[in-house]
A and B are shown apart, each in its own frame.
Chain A
Amino acid sequence: MSTGCDRSFEEALLTGYLDGMLTQGDRQRVAVHLEDCQICRRTVEQMRELREATMTTRFATPPDDQWNEAPRGAASRLSFGLGWLVLVVWVVGVTGFALGQLWSSPESLIEKLLVFGGVSGVVLLFLSVLIDRLKTMSSDRYRGVEK
């Protein structure tokens, strides 16, 4: 039995050996070395003990009533999408109609410009948010999650 470690392989193989993730050749190489090396045997034993301690720990988890991830069914998602579509069409229609009415009304030009200016500001802000969201969608990190 040697007193110093003279292994001829990377130390990381000890981790692979512990986890049972080595090829047969590497496993044999490590096993032969461990028979003779007290230092590496001790390293593997320590890692095994820490792994056991980690693996057997139990953590408190939230009770059932705290979970509200309730995934939506197809019908719910469809009605949600349709709901938004109808709402957007309604908002655009009503706003367009109101603006049309205002433009053809006998109000002064300044009043009309004030209203049009305000509405244009809101529309521009909405568009900037929409463009940002669309840009984000194209680089969405979750799109690449394991296809």
Chain B
Amino acid sequence: MNSPAARAVLSYVNAAMAIEAPLAATASESELVAQARAGAAPAREELARRHRESAYLLGLHLTGNREDALDVAQDALLRFFGALDRFDERRPVRPYLLRIVRNRVADLWRSRRVRRAESLDDADLSRQIADQRPGPEETARQAELRRRVWQALSRLPAAKREILVLRDFHDLAYAEIARVLDIPIGTVMSRLHAARRALRELLAGDAPAAGGGG
């Protein structure tokens, strides 16, 4: 093992491992993006692992269908990695990826000749909730409110539903929402408010105590 050839091989392996080492789950997002761009497969896998759930859930909220959501999310991830050279690593990945998801959903509707403005009447998002039984820490009323909120969200037009889920579920800031929806940041608040009002009106016209009574 002490031959020059063996030492050269060992040093090469060590160097390769040193490149892979910082790719642990603790690496920052910008580090991962930089390494993924340089071709490090583990960095790409880690980025995909961190963000695929968000991509899937936005796909689910926009399509109402699990298979479509998975297709859209996987396709969006592939496009994201395909366009990595154009991505500015100082920016967060999630809004960028969610914008691709949204565009993919628009493509999907277009290919099926479905009007984007339509609601998800056939696909009730409340049926996709992971566990609908109230947990020990919450009351049955909260679980019921959650179910009714997602039922009402399914009935909202797509434009209102998407801005609501981006803010209230995906917890994006207004600037990030503007980037995902490709709208001026100044219009986010008014659109979001109109969507919240529409949701409250739907719930109020629907049931006994919508959103705590109104």
Contact A15 B189 (CB under 8 A): yes
Asked if A71 and B77 make an inter-chain contact with CB atoms under 8 angstroms apart, the answer reads yes
Of the candidate stretches A60-68, A98-106, A116-124, the one touching chain B is A60-68
Mask: chain A, 6-32; 1 = CB below 8 Å from B; 0 = not: 000011111110010100000000000
Task: Tell me if A54 and B164 are in contact (CB < 8 A).
Answer: yes
Contacts of A15 in B (CB 8 A): 189, 192-193, 196
Q: Any chain A CB within 8 A of the CB of B131?
A: yes
Which applies to chain B's interface (DSSP): helix, strand, loop or mixed?
A: helix
In the complex, the chain B residue whose C-beta lies closest to that of A56 is B146
Within the complex, the shortest CB–CB distance from B23 to chain A, in Å, comes to: 13
A46 to B200, CA, bound (A): 8
Query: Are B99 and A14 in contact (CB-based, < 8 A)?
Result: no
Chain A residues in 8 Å Cβ range of B52: 67, 69
Tell me the chain A residues, 21-64 only, with Cβ under 8 Å from chain B: 21, 42-43, 45-47, 49-51, 53-62
**A68 pairs with B74, CB closer than 8 A:** yes
Question: A61 and B131: CB pair below 8 A?
Answer: no
Q: Give the distance in Å from the alpha carbon of A66 to the alpha carbon of B66 in the complex.
A: 12
Decide yes or no: A73 and B70 within 8 Å by CB, A47-B196, A50-B149 being known contacts. Answer: no
Query: Chain A nearest CB: distance from B5 CB in Å?
Result: 24
Which residues of A, 60-104, contact B by the 8 Å Cβ criterion? 60-62, 66-75
Which A residues contact B (CB, under 8 angstroms)? Answer: 10-16, 19, 21, 42-43, 45-47, 49-51, 53-62, 66-75, 141-143, 145-147
A-B contact pairs, 30 of them (CB 8 A): A10-B190, A12-B194, A13-B189, A15-B196, A19-B174, A21-B173, A49-B145, A49-B212, A54-B165, A56-B146, A57-B169, A58-B129, A58-B131, A59-B57, A59-B128, A60-B128, A60-B130, A62-B66, A67-B52, A67-B74, A68-B74, A69-B78, A71-B44, A71-B47, A71-B48, A73-B39, A141-B103, A142-B103, A143-B86, A145-B96
Residue positions of B touching A, CB distance < 8 A: 36, 38-41, 44-45, 47-48, 52-53, 56-57, 60, 66, 70, 73-74, 77-79, 81, 83, 86-88, 91, 95-96, 99-100, 103, 128-131, 142, 145-146, 149-150, 153, 164-165, 167-169, 171, 173-174, 179, 189-190, 192-194, 196, 199-200, 203, 210-214
Name the 10 nearest CB pairs between A and B, nearest first: A74-B39, A12-B193, A15-B193, A54-B168, A71-B81, A71-B44, A69-B77, A73-B41, A46-B211, A58-B130
